[in-house]
Structure 1
């Protein structure tokens, strides 16, 4: 797994088209459907905490785990400043909740550790696709099973083989914003069922640096290069990152859930209660902790 580094500082800007409120409502609906209305919830691959904060606003006690310290720094800063990025109508009364004291931990989900068990584990935004081998995915599932309360629920989403092969594969996504831009090249290797993301990010430098450069430029122009005297300069820092995600068949995921000792409950076409079809791009899995002989239940 590779952590987001340079991309972390602009991640939320480029993800502002994701309907996080709707995703959270769907997730909360599933949790309640399977008996969880409150309690301690762990989110794996929490990133900058967009879902974590929303679940906290819904009344859950949250732990967020992510491998990227840069992403967690942003999550902690938002939490500290109580800058909850929920829509105005998301929280009843249009008022932000008191600071929720979310616990953020920098850990690799393949070897995460907690001090005790949790009522539920969730993982959203295809974080599980970053686990690029069946062996490692099994480790994650085994750890989840170990840290769930008796009968606890595990809900996670995944991008499908169809999405990687027919939607993302060998395509380029690019966005240009006022202060940043990115180019996202996708390459899907069908034999390994791996999708490679080559991400190039350009982030505008702060105004003080720009002012210094502008002053140097004007000084040079005043020495005899008058024709471009009124032009302006904008400077951007460039970051390059390489990420990999793996496509898994639904049957493979179910097999690994059961091999990890959990009960497979169901799988849905994302944001519905319908079974997946051949053109489902994202699916949600629901699994449940099963009694383990060597596990201490309190």
Structure 2
């Protein structure tokens, strides 16, 4: 089963610890610090629209892109409930092909870590470049090796609500730099006392700062800042998440 197929229906329930409003405000503050105000935005790896929808409500022209049809269906349902008409595209980020260019591309919630094969990160950066206006911004986050190795490690986690539960077994392969999540969900069936079990495997790759910097440079980006998560503090060796601020260089 593809990642997030079974999880889509309960994704927001188990991600409620993420302060999405704070993330949206952080994006706005980042733009403000750069003295820019993008009019058009692509949310790459948008999931169920937890960033896309608030930005649209704030008046930005935003488009959502994700590889999961199930996640996009949930995002569309939520957008319609808010009375919003947001274009959503089901595409792989390494092959993104939209009919226009934008002022800023966002890729949040460690979406880029899901690019585990050699060359995929480069392909994604190339696709982002092709969809940016001159001097366009590329803002993205990534889980760090420290987080995979020292925080998640070889541990097991569990969570439950009234209608769902999950068990998550984590492991990190030092040689391949791949973090594996095995997740087993139990989702209560509507109007029933039975639960459906869904199993998924998720894989994320740890990229070094040098790898990311080199890849950005190869595709014509200037790296403006690397922050410690969703703060404006400098990234550290023990950061759990890096936040990158890059801008497309002017062509000579």
Q: What TM bracket, shorter-length normalisation?
A: over 0.9
Change (3 A) 1:69 1:285: same
The separation in 2 between residues aligned to 1:102 and 1:35, in whole angstroms, is 26
CA offsets per residue over residues 135-176 of structure 1, 9 Å max, x none? Answer: 110011111111100001000000111000000121111101
8 Å Cα contact 1:31/1:153 also seen in 2? no
Secondary structure in 1 aligned to 2:211? helix
* 2:22 paired with 1:63: no
**1:229-268 alignment, distance < 5 Å:** 234-268=193-227
Q: Answer 1 or 2: which has greater strand percent.
A: 2
Cα RMSD of the aligned pairs, angstroms, is: 1.4
Residue aligning to 1:200: 184
The separation in 2 between residues aligned to 1:36 and 1:172, in whole angstroms, is 43
1:127 to 111, 117, 121: 111
8 Å Cα contact 2:155/2:171 also seen in 1? yes
Secondary structure in 2 aligned to 1:50? coil
8 Å Cα contact 1:3/1:67 also seen in 2? no
1:292 CA displacement: 4.3
The separation in 1 between residues aligned to 2:102 and 2:2, in whole angstroms, is 26
Task: Provide the TM-score with structure 2 as the length reference.
Answer: 0.96
1:273 CA displacement: 1.7
The separation in 1 between residues aligned to 2:173 and 2:129, in whole angstroms, is 31
The separation in 2 between residues aligned to 1:20 and 1:141, in whole angstroms, is 24
Residue aligning to 2:249: 290
1:33 CA displacement: 2.0
Unaligned runs of 5+ residues in structure 1 are 83-98, 211-233, 294-298
Report runs of 4+ in structure 1 exceeding 6 Å deviation.
none
8 Å Cα contact 2:3/2:201 also seen in 1? no
The separation in 2 between residues aligned to 1:110 and 1:78, in whole angstroms, is 26
CA offsets per residue over residues 170-214 of structure 1, 9 Å max, x none? Answer: 11111011000001111100111100010100001121xx3xxxx
8 Å Cα contact 2:169/2:181 also seen in 1? yes
Change (3 A) 1:181 1:199: same
8 Å Cα contact 1:184/1:198 also seen in 2? yes
Bigger Rg, which one? 1
1:18 CA displacement: 0.9
Unaligned runs of 5+ residues in structure 2 are none
**1:1-298 alignment, distance < 5 Å:** 2-82=2-82, 99-207=83-191, 210=192, 234-292=193-251
